[in-house]
Structure 1
Amino acid sequence: MDINAIQNFFYSGASTSVAGFLIIAVSVVAIYSQRKTARQKASLEFLDKLSSNRRLIKSAKFLRDYHFDNNKSVTLIATSEEYKNLQEQIDPILNYFEPISIGVRIGIYDRCTMYLSRKQQIIHTFEYSKPYIEKIREQLKNHCLFENLEWFSACISKPWHYRIFCKITQFFRCHKKK
C-alpha cells in the first residue's frame, strides 16, 4: 500500500466522517444504557415501597388468606353490601400492582427487574383477585379495570415465546365494550 493513499485518506475528510459516525454510535449506546439504568432504578425504588409499607403487606396477606379459605369468597366482597368494608383490605395491593403494570407497559419501569423481583407475587395477586376484579368490572360496566395487571400477569406467567405476543400487545389499550 502506498503511503500517499493513506495520507490522501486522512486529508480527504473521510476520517472525519468515520470519527463522526463513531461518536454518534457511542452516544446512542450511552443514552440507551443510561435510560435502562434509570428504568431499573425507578423500578427498584417503587418495589421498595412494598417491602416497607405495612398496609400493602397486610393487604397481600389478607387476599392470600381469603383466597385459600374454603368458607370465604373473594367474589362475595365485590357483590355483598355487608362485605364492602373488606374491599378496603383488597384494594391497596391491587392499586399498588396496577401502576407497576402500567409503568412496565409504557416503559417507565424495567420489565426484567419486576420479573425477577415480584414475578410470583404479581401472578398470585391477579389469580387470587380475578373473581373480585371480574365482578367489579361487571358492576361498574368497565371491562378495562385492572387490564394492565391482567396483561402483565399473563406476560410473566407464560413461556418465553409468548413474550413476543406481549411485546406486540404492549401498545394496545383496552377497547372492550359491553
Structure 2
Amino acid sequence: MRTVKELRLAGLFAYLAALALGLLFSYLLHVLLGGGGRLGWAGFNFPGLLEGLGFLFFFTFVLYLAKKAVRVPCTTLLTAGLLWPTPARRLAKTLPRVEALEAYEGRGVALLVQEGRPVGLLGLSDHILPLEEVPSVEAEVAASELYPLFLRQPLVLVVRGEEVVGAIPREAFFRYLGV
C-alpha cells in the first residue's frame, strides 16, 4: 500500500515526464516541418498549429499511459501532485472501546481492549476476531489504495503503530469512491 506522499511524487514525476515528452515531440515536429512554425504571441501559421496540436495529443497520450503505469488518481496526476488523495485516517471512524465482554451490547462493531491494549474486534462475526485476522493499514496510506481489501473484507482497521485510530466500513469506502 502506497502512502499519500508516494502517490504525490508519482503524480509529479509522471506529469513532468509527460510534459517533457510532449515538448520533445513538438520540437521534433518543428524540425521536421522546417522550423518555421509559429504559434503564440508573435504570430500564427499552419506548421505552428500542427506543432501545438502535436504537443497536446502526445502530452495527453503520455498522461494516459502514465496513469495506467503508476496508478495514481486523476486529480493527483493532472495537478502534478498538488491535489493529493485522501489518507485512510480521514475516512476512519472511531470505534467504541469495550473493556469487558459483558459490557458489549451487541450493536455495531466495537474494539475489545484489555489492560489498555486492543486485542480484538466484536460485532463482525459471532465470536471475537483477533486484531491479527482483521486487515489493517497505516494511517497515512492513501484511501484509493484500499480497493483490493474491500473486495474481500467488510471492514479495514486504520492503525498508527500499535494504536487503532478507527475503522473504515465497506459502505463508507464505496461512498467515498462515489459508487
Normalising by structure 1, report the TM-score: 0.35
Q: Which has the higher strand share?
A: 2
Q: Which has the higher helix share?
A: 1
